[in-house]
Structure 1
Amino acid sequence: MDYEKLRESTTDAWANTVLPSLSGLIEIPAVSPAYDAAWEEHGHLRAAVEHVRAWVATRALPGARVDVVQLDGRAPLLFMDVPATPGAAASGTVLLYGHLDKQPPLGGWSEGLGPWQAVIREGRLYGRGSADDGYSGYAATTALEAVRAAGGEHSRAVVLLETGEESGSPDLPAYLEHLADRLGDVSLVICLDGGGGDYERLWLTSSLRGALQATVTVRVLETGVHSGLASGVVPSSFRVMRQLLDRIEDAQTGEVKIPEMLAPIPQERRAEAAEFVALHPEVAVPRLPLVRGMRRASDDDVELVLNNTWRPTLSVTGAAGLPEPAVAGAVLRPWTSFRLSFRLPPSVDAEAARTALEKILTTDTPYGAQVEVGDFMTLNGWHAPTPAPWLASALEQVGDRVFGKPCRNMGIGGGIPFMEMLGRRYPHAQFVVTGALGADSNAHVPDEWLNIPFATQVTEAVAHLLDAHARSAG
């Protein structure tokens, strides 16, 4: 493959074709279904998919088929099938993933900027969905084009762009079943919904945490009672809730006590965390808006990274049954509800954790209080498999030829549902989870922006991996 031609083709495409169309995509308020109950009526998700489909249809990819797929009642999906270059069919299928739905716009954007307004300033493309991750379909398509233009090879490639990722990808399992025959034998997955600690190298996501959410309700009375009559006679629902929380979390250390939520931390991930802290301490443990005098959970930055990427944590994210302080009367309340949100280690079975949580909270309840646990949400985490020799070599080449610095791994405290789903469906596939997001890209908040030169390099890196994968079967 002609690497100079590859870079030239990638750079030219971003400047002349990608940016104009990506700017148009930013202008479509394609808010994810969880944040827009009338998403189907509004039609913005469909408009975003059609916008990218129209652009892809103009690209130089012989034999490519581009379809908009929409199951009844589910958010639409863009599915592109690109045949292999001659002689590269034996290496299986590459699945390139991204999403087109966006977080809500939010207020507070800087002067001259806005969520649905594409603005280019000093190498940055501002607008909601620019970095997270409207660019992904453009990068995947451009990489395939660039490989061909440079005389390289790529196996059969499928580009899948969903519109529900920001809502937790609730429709994706149904689409994976629906498209199973069309996906074929996937041997490499490239997810472009990631990012890293800087814009100087390719960052690879090595792990993603899972999640478990549940609503716990404690009932002690049929109706509220004057506290002067009932206090000291009936234990408050809040005190019972405190006792239940003590069953699942150490209030002094924050350590989760449920065995089914615990997992050993691999030694390579400990070393990875230490390397990340040494390289970018301010990114590994970002500065958060702590109130005056507040301390972090530990003074050891490496331990904080491991807390955020591998250890289970509990947050109480909502409550009900408690009136506002200004109107709280002298009443012993009949019930209290908490919304519990656990982040789980990458290797923990979220369903097993759910079963254990429910049993612990509802067995032998304090004072015989009625305890209900429901409204569950479960998400398994993901731990990247060890790269095959061909992939390890290709990543080394990407570091040398594209960035001039070696690739780095890092764990992520959040989750990408698609990765765990694909990991189960294709247990022998290789995975590359990367992307153009940086620590300061402002995803989900005002002034979201995409680093254009870095996104161009990420695209070039993907092209290298596509060529290496095609040749790996030789």
Structure 2
Amino acid sequence: MQTTLTRELPPGELNTAQALSDVSQAWDSDILHQLTEYIQIPAKSPSFDAQWAEHGHLETVLRNAAQWVEAQKVDGLQLEIIRLPGRTPVMFFDIPATKAETSHTVLMYGHMDKQPEFNGWRNDLGPWTPKYEDGKLFGRGGADDGYAVYASIAAVQALKNQNTPHPRIVGLIETCEESGSYDLLPYVDTLRARLGDVGLVICLDSGAGNYDQLWLTTSLRGMASGILKVEVLTEGIHSGDASGLVPSSFRIMRQVLDRLEDSATGRMLPASFHCEVPADRLAQARATAAILGEEVYKRFPWAHYDCEGSTSFSLPTTTDPLQALLNRTWTPTLSVTGAEGFPALKDAGNVLRPYTAFKLSLRLPPLVDAARAVQEMKALLEDNAPYQARVTFETGGGATGWNAPGTTPWFESALNAASLAHFNAPAGYIGQGGTIPLMNMLSQGFPTAQMMVCGVLGPKSNAHGPNEFLHVPYAKKLTAAVAQVIAQMP
């Protein structure tokens, strides 16, 4: 009989190999199946499904997840689905502490609402048709962020399996994040007394610079959005008859947008939309640029074509890795994410269109106040319209970004230990260009809490777009890393 020698662990220390084995088994035997069923449900966020309550998809995915959590029989866990009138529901669970010497609470966060379908999916893939291929689970929402509640509970079970003492752990799973979490604050207010003294927040809704190490998100951009509409006529008219006399609504739209953005460079013109990059974030960006190099920009699906054996690629705004990181995390940028007033190409005749409408998405640096940016944006776009056209900006609200608090010694040590144990590489630090509204709320409510903001959205994972996937091997290691960090919380 062969005997395996193992290091005798001090009482309360987590055996990291066993933890990874336990969470991997949970993923393979159950979680993958749960996420496959989850992906099939079009649980679109309220901003993309005005009839979400009648359709019941958000209720279904939350109830399914709650039933799975309760079926895990986590010792001491109490769970409830809370519904405030007219608001999307949330799940709240509470697991009592087994570590006597701490009064802090760990708050685990996730969301189950999804972005809409989008087009361009690979022929054999689709947003609601999950497919598991080469360690990747394709489909809308699995990585953003349906997996979070399952991974959170699997991490807790890894602690329980080894009788590793842990602080009190609470979970908050919402269904409005992709709409800006406008329903969440009332729930946080309702639950504030029950959250306790939060010392660590674990949010698994973020990204990863690569799949080779644990990545901590250090900042998130904010967002201001809305619909800009330019109206010139009450109905479409023959373009040959009217063009040259009736100004094009599209040309006026371009003029109005030029007040906001330098179209040649993409630089946002209002000075108040910019902020200085803090010195510590700049130093972290330099270190991350050295790790990732060209992968910072090569990770995106650039359009290209082959012509007589040569390949021509679309180019990024910069090929300098450091500047590329700063551009996508600390620079304000404008995107047009939707348009109205245009016929389909096959239906486009010789008609001067009566109006042009764009949906605008303005990403703001982490330290810029979103509410003020929305107000300035509205005034700038609507004032003194060319040709006295009717120009309106219907705001879709805003969410201020987030800059992580300073990292305490225990937290930094725990992150590096977890990354070395499961990836054989130290933890990396990276800012993200997206927005998680909850993080700014929690930093204000719990200013001394450490923020473990991580996620599986690494290269090519393409959240919100076509062919979105969850990188399962990385998710397993991240789940085990979460367990290890909780175990080391003082």
Query: TM-score by structure 1 length?
Result: 0.86
Structure 2 counterpart of 1:166: 178
Partner of 1:75, secondary structure, is coil
* Amino acid in structure 2 at the alignment position of 1:93: T
Task: Give 1:12's aligned residue.
Answer: 25
Cα deviation for residue 446 of structure 1 reads 4.7
* Matched residue SS, 1:247: coil
Q: Report the Cα offset of residue 85 of structure 1.
A: 0.9
SS at match of 2:25: helix
Residue type of the partner of 2:164?
Answer: G
In 1: Cα distance, 2:254 partner to 2:467 partner: 40
1:148 aligns with 2:160: yes
Q: Shift of the alpha carbon at 1:114?
A: 5.4
- What's the offset of the Cα at 1:299? 4.1
Secondary structure in 1 matching 2:374:
helix
Residue 327 of structure 1 corresponds to 349
Whole-Å Cα distance in 2 between the matches of residues 449 and 247 of structure 1? 38
**In 2, Cα distance between the equivalents of 1:43 and 1:240?**
42
Do residues 345 (structure 1) and 358 (structure 2) align? no
Post-superposition offset of 1:64: 1.2
Q: Structure 1 residues 328 and 466, CA, compared in 2 at 3 Å: closer, same or farther?
A: same
Aligned mate of 1:376, from 391, 396, 401? 396
- 2:234 is equivalent to residue 214 of structure 1: no
Query: Matched residue of 2:80: which SS?
Result: strand
Change over 3 Å in CA distance of 1:396–1:234 after alignment to 2 = same
1:39 aligned residue: 52
CA distance in 1, matches of 2:48, 2:249: 32
Matches within 5 A, 1:406-445: 406-445=426-465
Is 1:62–2:75 an aligned residue pair? yes
Q: In the superposition, relative to structure 1, how do residues 241 and 100 fare at CA in structure 2: closer, same or farther (>3 Å)?
A: closer
The normalised TM-score by structure 2 is 0.84
Change in CA separation of 1:242 and 1:447 when aligned onto 2, cut-off 3 Å: closer
CA contact (8 A) 2:253 2:356 kept: yes
Which residue number in structure 2 is paired with residue 192 of structure 1? Answer: 204
Q: Is the contact between residue 123 and residue 452 of structure 1 (CA under 8 Å) also seen in structure 2? A: yes
Q: Give the match's secondary structure for 1:248.
A: coil
Query: Which residue in 2 is equivalent to 1:79?
Result: 92
Q: Matched residue of 2:396: which SS?
A: strand
The answer for the alignment partner of 1:254 in structure 2 is: 266
Kindly state the Cα deviation for residue 319 of structure 1 after the two structures are TM-superposed. Answer: 4.7
One-letter code aligned to 1:209: R
Contact residue 219 and residue 404 of structure 2 kept, 8 A: yes
Deviates more, 1:230-239 or 1:148-157: 230-239
SS at match of 2:87: coil
Percent identity over the alignment is 43
CA gap of 1:11–1:341, structure 2 versus 1, over 3 A, is closer
| 1:157 and 2:169 are equivalent in the alignment | yes
- Aligned letter for 2:113? D
State whether residues 153 and 466 of structure 1, in contact with CA within 8 Å, keep that contact through their aligned partners in structure 2.
no
Structure 1 residue 210 displacement after superposition: 1.1
- Structure 2: runs of 5 or more not aligned: 1-12, 306-311
8 Å CA contact retained: 1:195, 1:434:
yes
Asked whether the equivalents of residues 5 and 149 of structure 1 are also in contact (C-alpha less than 8 Å), the reply is: no
**Closer, same or farther: CA 335–70 of 1 in aligned 2, 3 Å:** same
- Please give the secondary structure, in 1, of the residue aligned with 2:328: helix
Out of 410, 418, 421, the position equivalent to 1:390 is 410
The aligned runs of 1:264-413 (5 Å cut-off) are 264-285=276-297, 286-290=299-303, 294-320=314-340, 326-329=348-351, 336-366=356-386, 371-413=391-433
Secondary structure of 1:213's counterpart equals: strand
Secondary structure of the 1:57 match is helix
Give the Cα–Cα distance (whole angstroms) in 1 for the partners of residues 238 and 132 of structure 2.
62
Cα separation, 2, equivalents of 1:233 and 1:451: 56
Indicate how the Cα distance of structure 1 residues 13 and 340 shifts in structure 2: closer, same or farther if over 3 A, else same.
closer
Quote the offset at 1:157 in angstroms.
0.9
Q: How does 1:14-33 map to 2 (within 5 A)?
A: 14-33=27-46
Q: Is the 8 A contact 1:110 1:447 kept in 2?
A: no
Q: 2:301 touches 2:460 (CA, 8 Å); kept in 1?
A: no
Letter in 1 for 2:399: L
d(CA) in 1 for partners of 2:380, 2:464: 35
Point out the more displaced range, 47-56 or 215-224: 215-224
Deviation at 1:190, TM superposition (A): 0.6
Cα deviation for residue 17 of structure 1 reads 4.0
| Change in 2 beyond 3 A, CA 1:47/1:247 | closer
Gaps of 5+ in 1: none
- Report the alpha carbon displacement of residue 155 of structure 1 after superposing the two structures with TM: 1.3
Cα distance, 1:394 vs structure 2: 1.0
Is contact 1:103–1:166 with CA below 8 Å preserved after alignment?
Answer: yes
Measure the CA separation in 1 of the matches of 2:356 and 2:469: 41
Give CA-to-partner distance per residue, 1:376-419, whole Å, 9 cap, x none: 32121111111112111111211222221001111212111221
Number of residue pairs the alignment of both structures matches? 466
Instruction: Summarize the Cα distance change of 1:73–1:109 in structure 2 as closer, same or farther, 3 Å threshold.
Output: farther
Question: SS of 1:200's equivalent?
Answer: coil
Offset from partner CA, 1:258-281 (integer Å, 9 cap, x none): 122110122333343343333333
Q: How far apart are 1:122 and its partner, in Å?
A: 4.3
Q: Give me the whole-angstrom Cα distance separating, in 1, the residues matched to 2:327 and 2:412.
A: 28
Q: Assess if the C-alpha contact under 8 Å between 1:215 and 1:337 holds in 2.
A: yes
